[in-house]
Chains A and B, each alone.
Chain A
Amino acid sequence: MNRELVTLDANEAAAYVAHKTNEVIAIYPITPSSNMGEFADAWSVLGQTNVFGTVPLVQEMQSEGGAAGAVHGALQTGSLTTTFTASQGLLLMIPNMFKISGELTSTVFHIAARSLAGQALSIFGDHSDVMSTRSTGWAMLFGNSAQEVMDLALVAQAATLESRVPFLNVFDGFRTSHEVMKIERLSDEDILAMMNSDHIAAHRGRALNPDRPVIRGTAQNPDVFFQARETVNPYYLATPEIVQKTMDKLAGLVGRQYRLFDYVGAPDAERVIILMGSGCETAEETVNYLIEKGEKVGLLKVRLFRPFSVEHFLQALPATVRKMAVLDRTKEPGAAGEPLYQDVMTAVSEDYSNGQVYSPFKTFPKIIGGRYGLSSKEFTPAMVKGVFDELNQDKPKNHFTVGINDDVTHTSLSYDPDFDIEPDYVVRAMFWGLGADGTVGANKNSIKIIGEETPNYAQGYFVYDSKKSGARTVSHLRFGPKPIHSTYLIRKASFIAVHQFGFMERFDVLENATPGATFLLNSPFGPEEVWDQLPREVQQKIIAFKMKFYVIDGYGVAKSAGMGNRINTVMQTCFFAISGVLPREEAIEKIKETIKKTYGRRGEAVVKKNYAAVDETLANLHQVTVPEAVSSHIELPPVVPAAAPDFVQKVTAEIIAGRGDALPVSAMPVDGTFPVGTTQWEKRNIALEIPVWDTDLCIQCGKCVMVCPHAVIRSKVYDDSYLAAAPETFKSADARFKEITETKYSLQVSGDDCTGCRLCVEVCPVKDKTQAGRKALNMADYPDLREAEKKNWDFFLTLPEFARTDTLKFDSVKNVQLLEPLFEFSGACAGCGETPYLKLLSQLYGDRALIANATGCSSIYGGNLPTTPWAANKEGRGPAWSNSLFEDNAEFGLGMRLTLDKQREYALHLVERLRDVIGSELAADIIKSEQTDEAEIFRQRDRIELLKKRLAGRDDFASKDLISVSGALTRKSVWIVGGDGWAYDIGYGGLDHVLASGRNVNLLVLDTEVYSNTGGQSSKATPRGAVAKFAAGGKATMKKDLGLMAISYGNVYVAQIAMGGNDVHTIKAFLEAEAYDGPSLIIAYSHCIAHGIDISKGLQQQKLAVETAHWPLYRYNPLLKAQGKNPFQLDSRPPKIALKDYAYNETRYSMLLQSDPDGAAHLMSQAQQEITERWKKYEQLAKSQD
């Protein structure tokens, strides 16, 4: 049978089999498994059937726990059911997993294995999650590549139906889930041949059915529970043989033979490595290399980890084995060893204690265990060799680590990092690009062309930095005549393309170049000029390595072809033209075919402009004549400024520079605690244009300062004496504030931190009377301004911050602009709609805020290394921030409040007790201080300092304890922050409980109406008619009215705000919410990249959302009730425009209009009706006296 050869990643491979073999699929997004759910949903929307001829029913749930529950129910009623997840998501499924296995129910969950959050969250791959489910009684199969994942997904599906033991189909997150490979796709016939209709019928026969009722899920007592638990043993005992039989059957069909434990290597191996997952690929490559060098080594790939068959395990190993190293991709602190090591040790020991029933060894082998590859840490042939070398030692290190430098407990093995085994016939190419330039997309297409149009095998893996704006991407492409097993980043590349000229000064882009390598540079400088623009080190390397050097003005070509800043097609054409993978003409034809396939659905015009880009590329691609001598005086600048603190210099800078892998264990904090305010040291310089202030036009309204998502545009007032030291181009104007004595005002932009989003320009209300298109802020090319503006910014920072206790009231946009932001320069998307609210929070309450942040966009741009945006003021005060989980954030924040309340109560008690020591006047002042305004809070802080002084040196327990809890005597502000995925879906139960608690916490929901961080999946906040992943046909249900649900409690302050709709209202809501001594909920409209809008128009869209009444502004203040007033204030006007006039400015709505006009019209009409009805309801509320 001719099977289709396709290039895809393991997520698609697993989803393919899952969709082909199931009827019900419950999904919930979590990286790196989200794509599986997206594929399944998209295929069902397109009407693609499973092998039984019916379209699987895909249901999004509110959490992984919900998905597991739905799966359990569907299984219990006889459906073939599956789900996909990873990491914490899998942990949320554990309770149901016990039930499902306890009831011997056939199912397969597909897992893109990922780290668990401990000292930090990580989205990357290891086995921590699946290892946490070992006790659930699920079988675990590990696939090590996309092909294996597809094959074993089918094996798992067939085996679970026969064995009745549920299966996890496991593969490594990112390394396998996202690695694009050329594989052979299983046909429907293959899949059907593996499905046994009797087993399926038996599965259905066990279902709950009122026609033949049974009861399942009873409660059992000490008398029988134990025995009942032991009933399942025969099924587990039978499972390994069933799996092997199934593997054999698959081999008969497709020719790929798998075993429970696959041994590769020398038949007379003495040293063997045992592991599972993608690392096996690298280990196999290395073992084969070492065997050729005459070494007696081998590798045992564990495929079926559970049920662990001691018999199969021992029989898979050669009798000659003397030493084994067992590698676990997980860590269990405090355990006697990691899971696989413990199983191996148990298996060998048990067999020896039984008199060697299965083990063929002459003597009890030396067994050591170690950890590798946590959070997708590289696992290379050098490390594999390092492990084999260690086994050669007389006393090899046990419980070792490999791949890091553990200079604390010295667990790490040393190895030769230059050990390289990659054969010459594999072409290795690296591409440095920006997310925005389309480099990764182009490389994915190149992989498809090479993989599907040539006999070559191909592999693509893509590395992203952790920023959402100006993100750097590095693509690693391998191709060659044999299957590729190198599951590690390219270390030596014969082709390096740099798609961004600015990278030349920021990164050592040629670090991985081999002698004679080809170097392609997208450069605004032509072949004659470019050489002099390169840093000295780069010139040296090009000459020393005799590199072939090509340049193209990719942006020029792209612009000319109508491609804007998407240089993907241009650079892809260059790659094919230079690399010679295919004859040039053929390559161009294939590129065009791919363009047609990729973009054809978006219209002929899009195809044409890409074709034009291809056609114009070759004429603009030039080889550079490399001079014989280095001539440049350009040096690579330091990663962070010299003024950066020690930790930033020694640790943060190394991470920024891409050298984090080399940091030793001792460099890292032991408990995940990091200094704040580090984004200020990472100057990314990503804006091509920045706003420039017109001092004459500006009315100093502060709107630009308020809206800037990255806090790069700031204002200060100060005495004009400061200007004496100002740089020449520093701008100032007479301050237009009535209540203050400062005479000057400056608006300053930090150009190196700006993303060029234009929100500030768009919000500027001033227009030049002589030139209506000109505002008080206008965008201008940054490179021309950079040197001057860097000096201006540095000077601006030396100007004093406005004193919070001065006479100004911070209840207006104009005055709030003067408050120092303590949230700055985050890596959020350019023009982010969420961050302005967080910055406002930091301005108003940052010096006394505790922030619990739900996982999501705000936890990523708020807390992802290398640098983080939450900062401290000059006194050292600032938001104390933490992210616990996705689902528990409201509870996490409530816990913070509980501490504050308890400690305050205790501290007050101690103050009373120690009144004589403290001084009764001070004690009385402390006790009675209400701290309802800034000045009083400052006074209370002074009192506490005085209290500490008076208690200092005292040795009694009470005095010491009072010092340690005295901080609770000053007012703190607890903020519980997260997105709609948290508030409406996964965390709703907790949010509801916290609202009901009556405690003084402030919940801020940054509502983008979609799961933004994981790529735009529908949430219950998604409005009717909007397209989102998991709602590809347009969301068919209405948005949940979270605010109204909270209002129903009566004692919760609730505000719905939109900064672009009414910025003063936004400030009012923050002030009232914080002042309210009880739970407060602020729901903030946050425009988002996932809306498909021109992000610079985000505020206009917010305004339209308000004007259509899609997003009515209101406040519900329970305090008004006590005053006999209506607590519900409707703060926006009745709708004056139709919903569609707002909605169809956004791709999330308009794309449905294009794909399904009738459906879109129907949903829009329903949505309009709902909005109208809801408005009437709100009007009634506003009129009624509660």
Chain B
Amino acid sequence: MDLTTTYMGLNLKHPVVPSASPVTKNLDNIRRLEDAGAPAIVMYSLFEEQITKESHRLDHFLSYGTDSYSEAMSYFPDLNTYNVGPDEYLNLIQKARAAVNIPIIGSLNGISSGGWVEYAQKIQEAGAHALELNVYYIPTDPHLSGGYVEQMYLDVLADVKEACTIPVSMKLGPFFSSPANMAHRLAAQGVNALVLFNRFYQPDFDLENLEVVPHLVLSDSNALRLPLRWVAILYGRVPVDFAITSGVHTHEDVLKGLMAGAAVTMMTSELLQHGLKRINEVVADMTRWMEEREYVSVKQMQGSMSQKNVAEPAAFERANYMKVLQSWRFDPTGSLF
């Protein structure tokens, strides 16, 4: 069985890749991921904003109250080094390169044009095989047009592509007026892969205290549907690799993703919930499934159920929606089932 796949020019032994998550924050876990069968590793994201905020915070509290009172010119020893820059992240990439034999994909979230380029270059210099741009951007300004936001994505990509030689993917949210057009323009700008989709963190309300609270909800297989559709739609039409990164929990999810056209499927929630061993288990299940149905390779099935390759292309469009709606039955007790 040939499980190999090619993602951004990287030859991977199978398509079940752990996606960017806190799991990759230390070297031991990275080694454990390799041992668990990961074909590549997407590092956790380096957030430029976090670096900046940490710097400002440290500066604020080390300065606060200083040189104000004759008995206490300061309140803390000024230590020799603080890892407030990207060094910790870059060092980890370097160490990971030395420690494992699988490709390391850096992940970056910038806030300034200079920051994107500077940190992208540093990640490349640290030895990353590829770079994922995690454009985690929430456009809250009502005066900001969709076109402007789209151009920001394109500009970031252009800047980074110009500065770096390693392959660059872009992780997108689903909130574009015309995702297909956006994918097309990114491809034209040289993106090597699109990672669909970013599950933006959704804040929750604490009703007791009337506060907005962070609330992390891990995905389940239902979340697969959204990227599945869009990869299926884009596959073969936009000449880049695709990664599916939401709702990948089982071998069935992986198979679906591949059939939609993904070069790789990326997994986090499953690993956080059930352990790193799930990579090998999913791969084994997938292999068994493929053997039972006499598939010989992953490549064989990639895109096989993309919109352009299915019998009913309309299933990905409006008709499908109407069909789903009509399938609901009304429950006179008031609940839907």
Contacts and interface: CB of A to CB of B under 8 A. Distances in A.
Given A602-B82, A606-B56, A829-B65, A1151 B76 contact: yes
A438 B63 contact: yes
Given A468-B68, A601-B82, A1154 B58 contact: yes
B64 interface: yes
Contact of A1155 (B54, B59, B83): B83
B68 A436 contact: yes
B60 interface: yes
Main secondary structure of the interface of B (DSSP, over half): loop
Given A462-B67, A829-B65, A603 B75 contact: no
B210 interface: yes
Interface in B44-72: 51-52, 54-72
A1092 interface: yes
Given A606-B59, A767-B210, A1016-B75, A174 B70 contact: yes
B333 interface: no
B68 A464 contact: yes
A31 interface: yes
Interface in A1150-1180: 1151, 1154-1155, 1157
A61 interface: no
Contacts of A606: 55-56, 58-59
Interface of A: 31-32, 34-35, 38, 41-42, 45-46, 123, 174, 178, 434-436, 438-441, 444, 462, 464, 466-468, 471, 473, 562, 564, 566, 599, 601-606, 609, 767, 772, 829, 860, 1012-1016, 1027-1029, 1032, 1089-1090, 1092-1093, 1147-1148, 1151, 1154-1155, 1157
B74 A1155 contact: no
Contacts of B211: 772
A19 to B, nearest CB: 15
B79 A31 contact: no
25 contacts: A42-B77, A42-B78, A45-B77, A434-B68, A462-B67, A468-B68, A468-B69, A562-B56, A599-B59, A601-B81, A602-B58, A603-B52, A603-B55, A603-B58, A603-B85, A604-B55, A605-B56, A606-B56, A829-B65, A860-B71, A1014-B72, A1016-B72, A1027-B76, A1148-B76, A1155-B81
A1149 to B, nearest CB: 11
Contacts of B66: 435, 441
A1157 B84 CA distance: 11
B73 interface: yes
Nearest to A1148: B76
A1029 B54 CA distance: 22
B58 A473 contact: no
Nearest to A829: B65
B60 A564 contact: yes
Contacts of B88: 1157
Interface residues of B, number: 37
B80 interface: yes
A191 B80 CA distance: 26
Given A468-B68, A473-B68, A829-B65, A35 B84 contact: no
Contact of B75 (A35, A441, A767, A1089): A1089
A191 B327 CA distance: 91
B75 A1092 contact: yes
Given A1015-B73, A1027-B77, A1092-B61, 8 more contacts: A41-B77, A42-B77, A468-B69, A602-B55, A605-B56, A1014-B72, A1147-B61, A1157-B88
A1015 B62 contact: no
Contacts of A1154: 54, 58, 82-84
Contacts of B61: 1092-1093, 1147, 1151
Contacts of A1028: 76-77
B62 to A, nearest CB: 7
B65 A1147 contact: no
Contacts of A1093: 61
A1090 B75 contact: yes
Contacts of B69: 435, 464, 467-468, 471
A772 B212 CA distance: 10
Interface string B26-56: 0000000000000000000000000110111
A601 B54 CA distance: 12
Nearest to A1146: B61
A604 B73 contact: no
B116 to A, nearest CB: 15
Contacts of A767: 210
B120 to A, nearest CB: 16
Contacts of B84: 602-603, 1154
Given A123-B70, A440-B67, A1029 B62 contact: no
Interface in B290-311: none
A724 B73 CA distance: 50
Interface of B: 51-52, 54-85, 88, 210-211
Most B Cβ at <10 Å: residue of A32, A38, A1012, A1089: A1089
B21 to A, nearest CB: 19
A1151 B82 contact: yes
A307 B70 CA distance: 33
Contacts of B81: 601, 1155
Contact of B79 (A466, A473, A609, A1155): A1155
Contacts of A440: 67-68
Given A1148-B76, A1154-B58, A1155-B80, A605 B51 contact: yes
Contact of B59 (A45, A467, A602): A602
Contacts of A434: 68
Contacts of A438: 63, 67
Nearest to A599: B59
B250 to A, nearest CB: 32
A756 B256 CA distance: 59
A73 B74 CA distance: 32
Q: Which 4 A-B pairs have the closest CB atoms?
A: A435-B68, A603-B55, A1015-B72, A440-B67
Nearest to A46: B80
Contacts of B59: 599, 602-603, 606
Contacts of A471: 68-69
A1029 B61 CA distance: 15
Contacts of A1148: 76
Contacts of A441: 63, 66-67
Contacts of B76: 1016, 1027-1029, 1090, 1092, 1147-1148, 1151
Nearest to B64: A1089
B58 A1151 contact: yes
Most A Cβ at <10 Å: residue of B63, B65, B85: B65
Contacts of A34: 71
Most A Cβ at <10 Å: residue of B64, B73, B76, B83: B76
Nearest to B211: A772
Contacts of A772: 210-211
Nearest to A1152: B79
Contacts of A1015: 71-75
A767 B205 CA distance: 14
Nearest to A1153: B83
Contacts of B72: 1012-1016
A1016 B71 CA distance: 10
Given A462-B67, A464-B70, A603 B80 contact: no
A178 B66 CA distance: 15
A1089 B65 CA distance: 7
A473 B71 CA distance: 13
Given A772-B210, A1027-B76, A1032-B79, A1013 B71 contact: yes
Nearest to A598: B78
Contacts of A42: 77-78
A1140 B249 CA distance: 31
A31 B71 contact: yes
A1165 to B, nearest CB: 14
Most A Cβ at <10 Å: residue of B62, B68, B88: B68
A1014 B71 contact: yes
Nearest to B58: A602
